[in-house]
Amino acid sequence: MKKIVCICGSGLGSSFLVEMNVKTVLKELGFNDIEVEHTDLGSAWPGIADIIVCGSDLYDNLKRFGETLPLDNIMDKNELKEKLTAVFQTKGLL
Amino acid sequence: MDFLASLVQFISDLLSNPKILLGIIVFIGLVAQRKAASEVIRGTLKAVLGFLIIGLGADILVGSLNYFAQLFEYAFNVQGVVPNNEAIVSLALVDYATATAAIMVVGMAANILIARFSNLKFIFLTGHHTLYMAALISVVLTVAGLEGVVLYLIGGMALGLTMVIFPAIAHPTMKKITGNDEIGFGHFSSITYWLSGEVGKLVGKNSKSTEEMNFPKSLSFLRDSSVSISLTMLIMYLIVTIVSGPAYVADVLGVTDNYLIFAFMQSLTFAGGVYIVLAGVRMVISEIVPAFKGWADKIVPGAKPALDCPIVFPYAPNAVLIGFLVSFLGGIAAMAAMLLLKDTNVFGGNVILPGVIPHFFVGATAGVFGNATGGRRGAVVGSFINGVVISFLPLLLMPVLGDLGFASTTFSDADFIGSGIVLGLFATWGKWAVSLLVVVLFSLPFLQAFLSKNKAQ
């Protein structure tokens, strides 16, 4: 696991706040070497990251670019932590 | 002596270069937070680089917009204006970058101050909108005659006010959408969101939610803004080139390409310019927002973060698409009205075209707000009214923007326009009138908190 990217419509506001949350959660889970970035929908490409995090409204637009983690409440840190933990567990990293 | 003189000259050149000045501000901020050297270097360079990229994007946008403006004027005999925040801000930063950077910093401090000592406990975290509002305020107040430190202080106070007042306006409906009181809403078109929510209450009795219906998923490719900008600019460009005819394109504009290919390339050039400006903006704010958030968390622990509009999109994905499409229709209806009435001159010889970004984000959010209070009827009527309002409002803003009022682009979201109009109106009575207005408004939240505290005791 090297990189997580957070994506929203214009890659300015909400994806950036999600990025800050992801960084906090990663720290809590004890991952220090995963790169986290944010960008817009138009800049996504297949293989852009190991995990894409976005609002559930953008899930259909993004799932073709790789493993995508949709959030129902994009600012809910608990939801984010639960879902990230689940992904890490299936990958055998936790 | 020569060395000293050239050193002084060098320093003054350094400080009068807005991009470098911004870099210095970021540098000081990072050092003050005792960041590691690597982070200080990265943050400072990226802030300067981001500003440079915005300027490069501006050049591209201007090229495409100039052709469009000439074609539109020749075709319809009236000036066409494409509202787009990124375009107008990138132009504003050419002349007003120093004031914008200073006002942004003072404004963020003012936001923290108000949240700390008054009952308006919002911390506005939508960094690009803070930047755009700072640019708007620096243009309007400079045109009003303010300059130097007074401009930065008054402008910063005005910015700080907008960063708490507009989230407060949106908050009642926001609570309804999210179902809690924890997060605020920070996207500068709260005036039309509020309007959409109120209209929803009026028309939406017994109307079912948009989320209880099936809406075609195939339209969701329009959520990609570079696709939707290209598409709408292409349609508008094709219309003006075809009406103007190949002869005008070849002889007057001096284009050697086929005129339809020219239209295609220019519309994509516009989309490319917006994309580049956005990349620059992203770079600038990604160094500023975490610092701002860090300070705010420390100084105002219980504050509500006011967040960007896509925060509400997952609550009502159907309302998002309905809001976009219906708001866009409202924009087209408004444009048709302006075109029909162009000879009566009631609209000052301008036609506002439906800009896709504003209808997209603002229209979508208006749809969600309308749906929250009035179901699908609320979403449809609310976002239509939103589309009409954000089309007519810029006509009132353009006169107070000085030379930028004649650019063929302008601010697109209602709170920028509303703030600009109010400040510009007071500015017509002199720079002291507008300064007094800002100072009085700024003291009100503190006064209110003071009085309510006394009452409680």
- pLDDT of res. B354: 87
How large is the average pLDDT for residues B100-129? 93
CA-based torsion, B84, B86, B91, B95: positive or negative: positive
Q: What is the mean pLDDT of chain A?
A: 91
* Beta-carbon contacts of residue B112 (< 8 Å; ≥ 6 apart): B123, B295, B296, B299, B300
- pLDDT of res. B1: 60
How large is the average pLDDT for residues A27-51? 92
| Interchain CB contacts (distance < 8 Å): A and B | 92
pLDDT at B344 > cutoff 80: no
Alpha carbons B23 and B401: distance in angstroms, whole number: 27
For chain B, give the longest Cα–Cα distance.
82
Q: CB contact, 8 Å: B222 with chain A? A: no
pLDDT digit string (tens) for B45-61? 988 898 889 889 888 98
| Nearest-CB residue to A74 (from B290, B314, B360) | B314
**CB neighbours of residue B231 within 10 Å:** 15
- pLDDT of res. B429: 92
Which two three-digit tokens encode residue B69?
Answer: 């403006």
- pLDDT of res. B218: 72
pLDDT at B435 > cutoff 80: yes
| Confidence at A87, pLDDT banded by 50, 70, 90 | very high
Closest-CA residue in chain B for A73? Answer: B314
pLDDT at B457 > cutoff 70: no
- pLDDT of res. A7: 94
> Nearest Cα to B139, choosing from B395, B445, B424?
B424
CA distances from B10 to A44, B17, B89 (A): 43, 11, 28
pLDDT at A43 > cutoff 80: yes
Chain centroid to Cα B394, Å, comes to 12
- pLDDT of res. B192: 96
How large is the average pLDDT for residues B185-210? 92
pLDDT digit string (tens) for B229-243? 888 889 989 999 999
pLDDT at B186 > cutoff 80: yes
Residue A11: left if φ>0, alpha if ψ -120 to 50, beta else—which one? left
Chain centroid to Cα B180, Å, comes to 27
Which of A6, A7, A12, A36 is the best substitution to test chain B (most B C-beta atoms within 10 A)? A12
Rg of chain B over CA atoms, in angstroms? Answer: 23
> Nearest Cα to B352, choosing from B327, B325, B324, B333?
B333
Q: Of B213 and B7, which is predicted with more confidence?
A: B7
- pLDDT of res. A17: 87
How large is the average pLDDT for residues B76-88? 89
- pLDDT of res. A78: 92
pLDDT at A27 > cutoff 80: yes
- pLDDT of res. B65: 86
> Nearest Cα to B221, choosing from A64, A13, A39?
A64
- Using a CB-CB cut-off of 8 Å, the residues of chain B touching A60 are 217, 220
Least confidently predicted of A57-66, B17-26, B59-68, B443-452? B17-26
- pLDDT of res. A5: 95
Q: What is the pTM of this model?
A: 0.86
- Using a CB-CB cut-off of 8 Å, the residues of chain A touching B125 are 13, 17
CA distances from B176 to A1, B14, B141, B185, B436 (A): 39, 50, 36, 12, 36
Q: What is the mean pLDDT of chain B?
A: 89
Residues facing B81 on adjacent strands: B352
Tell me the DSSP string of A15-80. Answer: HHHHHHHHHHHHHHHT--S-EEEEEEGGG--TTS-SEEEEEGGGHHHHGGGS-EEEESSTT-HHHH
- pLDDT of res. B243: 93
How large is the average pLDDT for residues B147-159? 96
Q: Percentage of chain A with pLDDT > 70?
A: 100
* Beta-carbon contacts of residue B343 (< 8 Å; ≥ 6 apart): none
Alpha carbons B259 and B52: distance in angstroms, whole number: 32
ipTM, 2 decimals?
0.79
| Confidence at B254, pLDDT banded by 50, 70, 90 | confident
| Nearest-CB residue to A9 (from B223, B275, B290) | B223
Which two three-digit tokens encode residue A90?
Answer: 């299936």
- Using a CB-CB cut-off of 8 Å, the residues of chain A touching B314 are 55-57, 71-74
Block residue for tokens 């989309």: B271
Q: Percentage of chain B with pLDDT > 70?
A: 99
For chain B, what percentages of helix, strand and coil (3-state, to nearest 5) are there? 80, 5, 15
Residue A5 DSSP SS3: strand
Cβ–Cβ gap A9/B286 under 8 Å: no
pLDDT at B355 > cutoff 90: no
How large is the average pLDDT for residues B158-163? 97
Half-sphere exposure of B60 (CA within 13 A, CB side): 20
Q: CB contact, 8 Å: B58 with chain A? A: no
Residues facing B410 on adjacent strands: B83
